[in-house]
Structure 1
Amino acid sequence: MITDIEVNKPVPIVPEKQLELFNHTTDVMLTIKALEAGKLVLITEFYSNGLLLLKALKIHLNKKMTCRSFKEQREYRSEYRKLTNLILIAIVDHKLIVKKAPFIGWLEKFYPYNNNFLLTFPQIQGLNSAWQWYQNGISIPVLRNKVHPYYGTYFPTRFEHLELFDNWLKRYQGPKKSAIDIGFGSGVLSFQMIKHGFQKICGTDTNPNAVVGLTDFMKDTKLSRKIELDFGDLFGKFRKQTELIVFNPPWLPESYDLDSMDKAIYYDKNLFSVFFAEAKQRLLPEGKLVLLFSNLAQIINITKEHPIEKELSEGGRFQLEKCLKKKVKTASEKTKRDQYWRSSEEVQLWVLTNK
């Protein structure tokens, strides 16, 4: 049962050593030195004190580290993540005990039997943002209705690839009995296909939160009769051949100097070879395989290899019908990150057919 899947959520913290306390009267630099020494810091009095410490930490790290290249930005984020995960905040009876704190519905939903514990301040920020997105919904330009992403579920913040897919769907003349959406996330690609007349979508995801969240969102609506979900890797339990397979894979190869792997962003070395082999078995003879991708890995010099081009030249399974491309909007002037390569970045929609 999908409802029996256990979601990923922050693990409650029970500190084994004494905590440093921080409020607006505490010496900020002494607290930052304590963090750099690996000590745990508890935010007290007001929620805003946590924000104050994060701001000071960013200023401190910006003075110590340069952030010009993609690699340097990644190192900065890694150090920032390490230190901020030592900053804690207390939860009692599903509420933050500091004053003027936001209400976060996930606390009762995820920890119904745990009334007194700690989480890191970044975890609380993540839970808070996710609760606002879940409650208020997010507008996606290619959809009529908002999506309500569940905690810990990928949702798009850039839309060029979705616009490419929507324009392709408008011109699609093939049968629309069924499609498979690999790694459906918050369901955007599935919703696009339903909007354009597909009768049945089979969606898979390895993220339990995505499965639980989309199941909760659809409930007993018409969508739940048109979209069938499975908690599984790649094609999961779905064995029948289909007219259309859609995959928006991670766009960057995994890098072993990262502290953690985000499967929505980084792909392992075997992902594409396994995917194309399984797709060959699931695609009807006249069916189409659509992949949404980007040239990001090439322009930031992580790799010269393009996994779709490699499949076309070496795989012997598929041939190229078309490749549509769209330039990515330049970064906001307020954002220093990504400005150095986004002028060269383009999203790609690859349509492959059986050989």
Structure 2
Amino acid sequence: MSTDITINKPKPIPTKKGLQLFNRSADVKNTMQTLEAGKSVLITDFYSNGLTLLKEVQLYLKRRMPNKTFNEQRAFRAAYRKLSNLILIEIADQKLTVSKAPSIGWLQKFYAEEKSSFLLPFPQVQGLNSSWQWYTNGIIIPVLRNKIHPYYGTYFPTRFDHLILFDNWLKRYSGPKKTAIDIGIGSGILSYQMVKHGFQKVFGTDTNPNAIAGLKEFLGDTKLSRKIELDQGHLFGAWEKQTELIVFNPPWLPKTSENDKNDEAIYYNETLFPDFFTEAKKRLLPDGKLVILFSNLAEITSVTKDHPIEIELAKGNRFTLEKCIKKTVKTASDKTKRDQHWRALEEVQLWILNHK
């Protein structure tokens, strides 16, 4: 079982001489030309200068790229990610060197051994800052009694329809509650739900080392730590024993480009579901249940017409469908600036499968 965990964190870039500087007096047009040429730009003076340049990148791309449909928005975000990550900021003694910068605890946690100054892409520093706020302040999840404190680089939901669907199913579940396996445990919400509803032991796995490290830190030696056991690994990881319940909240969109490989929490590759069903067949007790949380997002946004669970049921010859419970998703907030008209058609799905 994995004990030595290497945290995923933004990779330090050695301090470079001769970088183009960006401050309040810099020429924006010239700066954009530098970024388009694939060259880095260094934020100086104030932290807010980085925010200003990010807004300029957004405006620059909006003038050049369509940004209405789901696929157009994916392309826009990829272009924005490429340009914005060329914007750098300096860190020295685990602090940002510019004025009026936020204090980010991850810098002390992750870079204590860095003796000299280094650079990080500004959007990644933004990510570290946001993550530190979520980690320290905690996030309220409607189906849980206590806040979660997600570790840096760990997926956590910002919408809760699928969690409410699962909680309602757990309330009605009358099967044995000795053990369960949570595939891709993330920030631990599904496991906490199962413990809340009386499961004695939950085995959680995740390929993301940050998810496992964060949960180990959060659980510590509490009572909860004796109910939830963790392993860093693909799909079922080290867990070989059969169980009465397997729960899987997989990514809801297929990988369609190289950019998607960077976020395994959102995009799945072509082998994920076939591999999962093969392994789940071995580990599910004869009378056990396989519960998968999914969505029709890929279909309504025309990313794909293929539904991996329906394909398994039609061709896999391993499981039968007991029930599929569906819930319409709440429409996107009026505050969101992104056009998400397809949300009116979105539904989350809870699939309950049994051995064939």
TM-score range (shorter-chain normalised) is over 0.9
Say if 1:2 and 1:211, in contact at 8 Å, map to a contact too: no
| Deviation for aligned residue 1:336 | 3.7
Say if 1:2 and 1:212, in contact at 8 Å, map to a contact too: no
CA distance in structure 2 between the partners assigned to 1:220 and 1:321 by the alignment: 38
In structure 2, the partner of 1:26 is 26
Say if 2:15 and 2:90, in contact at 8 Å, map to a contact too: no
In structure 1, the partner of 2:9 is 9
Deviation string, structure 1 residues 233-280 (Cα, Å, up to 9, x no partner)? 111111111110000001111112536431101111111111111111
Secondary structure of residue in 2 paired with 1:343: helix
- Residues 1:156 and 2:157 aligned together: yes
Segment of structure 1 superposing worse, 112-121 or 2-11:
2-11
In structure 2, the partner of 1:75 is 75
Deviation string, structure 1 residues 54-75 (Cα, Å, up to 9, x no partner)? 1111112111111011111111
CA distance in structure 1 between the partners assigned to 2:193 and 2:257 by the alignment: 35
CA distance in structure 2 between the partners assigned to 1:18 and 1:340 by the alignment: 46
Say if 1:285 and 1:354, in contact at 8 Å, map to a contact too: yes
| Deviation for aligned residue 1:79 | 1.0
CA distance in structure 1 between the partners assigned to 2:25 and 2:152 by the alignment: 34
Gaps of 5+ in 2: none
Residue identity opposite 1:170 in structure 2: K
| Deviation for aligned residue 1:4 | 2.2
Deviation string, structure 1 residues 51-99 (Cα, Å, up to 9, x no partner)? 0111111112111111011111111111111111110000010000101
Say if 2:22 and 2:44, in contact at 8 Å, map to a contact too: yes
Gaps of 5+ in 1: none
Residues paired across the two proteins, number = 355
- Residues 1:92 and 2:92 aligned together: yes
| Residues 320 and 205 (structure 1), Cα distance of their counterparts in 2 relative to 1, 3 Å cut | same
Work out the percentage of aligned pairs sharing the same amino acid: 68
In structure 2, the partner of 1:37 is 37
In structure 1, the partner of 2:314 is 313
- Runs of 4+ aligned residues of structure 1 deviating over 6 Å after TM superposition are none
- Residues 1:122 and 2:123 aligned together: yes
Deviation string, structure 1 residues 216-239 (Cα, Å, up to 9, x no partner)? 000000111000000111111111
Q: TM-score, normalised by structure 1?
A: 0.97
In structure 2, the partner of 1:55 is 55
Deviation string, structure 1 residues 110-134 (Cα, Å, up to 9, x no partner)? 1111031110100100000111111
Secondary structure of residue in 2 paired with 1:150: coil
CA distance in structure 2 between the partners assigned to 1:259 and 1:352 by the alignment: 29
CA distance in structure 2 between the partners assigned to 1:338 and 1:8 by the alignment: 32
Residue identity opposite 1:128 in structure 2: N
CA distance in structure 1 between the partners assigned to 2:176 and 2:112 by the alignment: 47
CA distance in structure 1 between the partners assigned to 2:43 and 2:257 by the alignment: 33
- Residues 1:167 and 2:168 aligned together: yes
1:315-330 residue pairs with structure 2 within 5 A?
A: 315-330=316-331
Say if 2:323 and 2:353, in contact at 8 Å, map to a contact too: yes
| Deviation for aligned residue 1:333 | 2.2
CA distance in structure 2 between the partners assigned to 1:51 and 1:309 by the alignment: 44
| Residues 226 and 127 (structure 1), Cα distance of their counterparts in 2 relative to 1, 3 Å cut | same
Q: CA RMSD in A?
A: 1.3
| Residues 16 and 89 (structure 1), Cα distance of their counterparts in 2 relative to 1, 3 Å cut | closer
